[in-house]
Amino acid sequence: MTRITTPKSVRECLRSKRRDTIAVHDKNKAKVKKVVDIQDIRAQLRGIMGTHDTHLVNEEDDDEDVEDEDVYMYPTDMYPDERMHIDMQFVPRKHQNGNVNNMRIL
């Protein structure tokens, strides 16, 4: 038979309740800190990753005009300064009809 342990005195009961209250408070405090840290990281990444980087593929877009678009997707582990260096190696060039931008290497 399982025996339920109970505090032997009112003082022990109050200590136990106080410990539980502190534990719950610390847990809630840790959750709030985690949320704040995540928001800070997202704010920092917003400066590095522009809004155009978040949606690289438009699923509603038809594939008919794919040859008209020049798309370059960067590796996910690339640092921003590496990406900037790669971008600086490419310059836009007008296509023969004057409407379409192609990329050429310097």
User: For 58-80, how does the pLDDT look when each residue is reduced to its tens digit (9 = 90+)?
Assistant: 555 555 555 555 555 656 666 77
Q: Is residue 47 a contact partner of residue 80, using CB atoms and an 8 Å limit?
A: no
Q: Tell me whether residue 49 is in a domain.
A: yes
80 and 49 co-located in one domain: no
Q: Tell me whether residue 60 is in a domain.
A: no
Domains of the chain: total: 2
Predicted structure pTM score: 0.35
Give the residue, 7 or 81, on which the prediction is more confident: 81
Give the residue, 9 or 63, on which the prediction is more confident: 9
pLDDT at 96: 45
49 and 83 co-located in one domain: no
Q: Tell me whether residue 19 is in a domain.
A: yes
Range of the domain at 96: 70-106
Q: Tell me whether residue 98 is in a domain.
A: yes
15 and 51 co-located in one domain: yes
Radius of gyration of the chain (CA): 29
Mean pLDDT of 14-24: 91
